[in-house]
Structure 1
Amino acid sequence: MSIVVTKSSSVAVTSPPELGTLTGSIINLSSFDKCFAPVPVHLLLVFDQPINDPVQTVKKAVSMALVHYHPMAGRLVAGADDRELIHIACTGEGVSFVGASASCTLDQVSTSPLLVRDLTLRYPADYCRPGEPLLLMQVTEFACGGFTVGVTWNHVVADGAGMAQFLQAVGELARGMPAPSVVPVRSVVDGSLPSLPSEVVAAMRSQMSVGMEEMAILEVTVPWSLISRVKRECRGECTTFDAVAALFWQCRTRAIATSDPDTPAPLFFPSSMRWLIGGAAKHGYYGNCVMRQPVQAKSGTVASGDVKDLVKLIRLAKRKNIPGMLTITNGGGGGTETPPPRCKYNTLVVTSLRNLGLDAVDLGRGSPARVMPPLCKAERTASNFCVLCPPCKGKDGVNVVSICVKPEHADAFAKELAALGIC
């Protein structure tokens, strides 16, 4: 039986006219915002508990949320050549919204990778262009009564934690709360959000300005038993993220099998800066507040070393790079490594959707059964990455979606993971 997803025409959801629309103001981009090229970010939230008319319920809640998150309804303004981002104009034009229905149950989604991609909206180009909506949403109802919420947004407007805060607000309003429990803040003017050096901003942004390549998709579960074993070997000096990142770093490096053991095989991971700064940016701020941290190592070291030693490298990078970058930013004379070169194939990016609050989004009947990037069997991407997803119902471990190897290395990568019990 063929599966069909029927979509309505896209509409612009704006804040309710009777509540007024805050327009005319601008949101100056922070140096953290400018670290990110205007690339689209995609998320899929899967809800297996039905609610009444999910399309209209979410649509109305989004409209109410835009009263509090009015920059989300604005548009990005760039310079004459579209390369220099200037600010967000609060135009009140709204977010793009589509209601849809699928002729299958949620259980069939995992067996149809091409369907997953059809559950989110996409921008026309690889990059989000000035004048396009900052947020796209699609709500899809399934034959079993469950539904999905596909979210696509311009990375310049918010990071993962910021989008989780917005979606939690949508959930609260959908459940009848008069206002979000967290007062949102998008523009920080009290100096609590420091300015990064221009050379750091340029280097970070250049890492996202690389050619698009087709990569293989692999979704696996890292069992808790393996994660616990790594933590024991590290004598407790290891988080779940550290363990999973080290394991994937090693397996991928072995799979792509560079002939020269001295070839650089760096790992990058985004780190939240919210815990290092105070003021409004610590509570309610939903703009970008993360930095991509490098872990430098040679391929021979990564491929043949002990996993516990790779964990030590990751933890050292956390301690050294993050505080150092803010120290030099604030004129304290602290040092940080020279920003690394732009991403290449031997580079791996590991990121996490865990602990952001995405699994706390409640639209009326509880949290989502799954939160995941909506990827199909092959994607074109500007970086090689693995994503640790929030807890997935029925999975005894950490669910990871990877898009980090070319198709010709997919089998070797899967075999390296399987040898550790990751499948």
Structure 2
Amino acid sequence: MEIHVVSSTVIPQGLPPTENTKIPLTVFDMLASGMHVAVLHAYIPPMPTNTALKDGLKRALGLFPTLAGQLVENDDRCHPYISIGDNGGGVLVVETNVESELVDILPLEPSPELVRFHPPLDEARHLLQVQLNQFSCGGLVIGLTSHHRVADGKAISSFLIAWGKLVRGLQIDSFPGYDQTMLIPRDPPRCDHDHWGIEFQPLPLPPSSLPSTLNSNEVHNMRVHYSGEFILKIKARMPTKHSTFEVLTGHLWKNLTRARGLDPDMLTQIRVAVNGRPRLWPAAPTEYFGNMVLNAFPRARVKELTEGSVADAARLVHDAVGRIEDGYIRSLIDFRAINNGNVLVPVTDFEGPVLCPNLEVDSWLGFPFQEVDFGDGGSLCAFAPSWVPVEGVVILMPTLRGVGEGGVDVMLTLFQDHAELFRQISHSLD
């Protein structure tokens, strides 16, 4: 499949203030991985022209200025911030023509080949990068990469919805908020929980602790579909009510552990991403733009997990997530204040590319992908990460297979032999 680059331009920062603005990174921004996240959105025709899409993007950047800013670290690396209105920054926009029809790459099975549909992630100079891939049939794939320390998935979703509305000439009814007042530490600050080694890694580390890399043929990205009917079957086995996320995560954890063939006495855990906005008291504004994700860590012995029920696994997930509440969040905010003079590096930066025997589970179930509408009659037909070069990542995504179907698509990254075994038992209820 030939992909021809037509143009590559930088959209400057939109409507900068008269004076330079520095927005400090919060403890949640610093907790996010220091890398770009790449997601592809595929639309069937007819779609607006690239000119219309870029014009709407320019207007959107005026409302979401941090996406076009610059990430700056002071010499001491203790107080990073996003600079807005200074020279530099902007958003990279690449336009391509694809000598193929959109159907040829659907349903966007993550693979190394899909990375061609978004700008490179390595040494990216801009916090937001966009690639507009026009197919011969009129279909469009928008490849978007965003630096995780600028915004989490919920925030990026609000940006995409606003971008679509501006392309259609509509008014924005919810503006992004940058007020960090609710994240002010207590007086005096106090840590009620231990955060070293959980969220942040004490420094320095020996050179052997630095992560290595994986070759693209060592890890397999796969997509598995769970219908709404199948999820109801799992829920029917629960003695108490659990969310779709909890029962499906418990089901996946149990069967993935079986597929990996782990030692029965080994400890396995999941790093579960939890949206902290509604868990603060009072709750953070839904329009807050940035990061506010923490991690919960359900854990169990392999034997306990594989021989127990899915209900047991779902309960472990439920209980771990439930511990992320206002008190824990306030403790983490105060931890940043107490360690104001220390370099804070998230533990995830030192985990390396193999998570086994553990997992990372991210839920995109609450992200309103289907509300991203650029007009002209085109509609979203697929979305997915391009390719994740880390073993042990699980992403739950709402299916696009049918309105009201209620199913979930799961993207997993496993070693090839584990992937083959998991596919055989992916829907096992034993």
TM-score range, shorter chain: 0.7 to 0.9
2:338 aligns with none
Task: Describe the shift of the 1:37–1:114 C-alpha distance in structure 2 as closer, same or farther (beyond 3 A).
Answer: closer
Which amino acid in the other structure matches residue 40 of structure 2?
L
Residues 185-243 of structure 1, C-alpha deviation per residue, up to 9 Å, x if partnerless?
13413547889959627632449974433421111101222210111111451111112
Which amino acid in the other structure matches residue 177 of structure 1?
L
Confirm or deny that 1:244 pairs with 2:252: no
1:368 aligns with 380
2:416 aligns with 407
Paired with 1:97 and 1:361, the residues of 2 have a C-alpha distance of: 19
Residues 76-108 of structure 1, C-alpha deviation per residue, up to 9 Å, x if partnerless?
112437x65611111362111111121122211
Residues 274-312 of structure 1, C-alpha deviation per residue, up to 9 Å, x if partnerless?
112367932321100110110011111112211111111
Give the % identical residues: 23
Task: Describe the shift of the 1:280–1:186 C-alpha distance in structure 2 as closer, same or farther (beyond 3 A).
Answer: farther
2:41 to 45, 60, 72: 45
Scaled by the length of structure 1, the TM-score of the pair is: 0.84
Paired with 1:236 and 1:133, the residues of 2 have a C-alpha distance of: 47
- The answer to whether the 8 A contact 2:95-2:132 is kept is yes
Task: Describe the shift of the 1:157–1:330 C-alpha distance in structure 2 as closer, same or farther (beyond 3 A).
Answer: closer
Scaled by the length of structure 2, the TM-score of the pair is: 0.83
Confirm or deny that 1:134 pairs with 2:127: yes
- Any gaps of 5 or more consecutive residues in structure 1? 332-338
Paired with 1:76 and 1:137, the residues of 2 have a C-alpha distance of: 18
Q: How does 1:369-384 map to 2 (within 5 A)?
A: 369-375=381-387, 379-381=388-390, 384=392
- The two structures, once aligned, show a CA RMSD in angstroms of 3.1
- The answer to whether the 8 A contact 2:45-2:378 is kept is yes
Any idea what SS the aligned residue of 2:71 has? strand
Task: Describe the shift of the 1:201–1:301 C-alpha distance in structure 2 as closer, same or farther (beyond 3 A).
Answer: same
User: What displacement does 1:74 show?
Assistant: 0.8
2:151 to 149, 158, 161: 158
Confirm or deny that 1:417 pairs with 2:426: yes
- The answer to whether the 8 A contact 1:76-1:85 is kept is no
1:359 aligns with 370
- Any gaps of 5 or more consecutive residues in structure 2? 203-208, 335-345
Paired with 1:368 and 1:201, the residues of 2 have a C-alpha distance of: 42
Task: Describe the shift of the 1:193–1:118 C-alpha distance in structure 2 as closer, same or farther (beyond 3 A).
Answer: farther
2:400 to 379, 392, 396: 392
2:11 aligns with 13
Any idea what SS the aligned residue of 2:89 has? coil
Residues 56-88 of structure 1, C-alpha deviation per residue, up to 9 Å, x if partnerless?
22211111111111111111112437x656111
- The answer to whether the 8 A contact 2:22-2:82 is kept is yes
Confirm or deny that 1:288 pairs with 2:300: no
- The answer to whether the 8 A contact 2:13-2:89 is kept is no
Any idea what SS the aligned residue of 2:380 has? coil
Any idea what SS the aligned residue of 1:204 has? coil
User: What displacement does 1:271 show?
Assistant: 0.7
Confirm or deny that 1:175 pairs with 2:168: yes
Paired with 2:292 and 2:196, the residues of 1 have a C-alpha distance of: 13
User: What displacement does 1:20 show?
Assistant: 5.4
Q: How does 1:328-367 map to 2 (within 5 A)?
A: 328-329=331-332, 343=351, 344-364=355-375, 365=377, 367=379
1:336 aligns with none
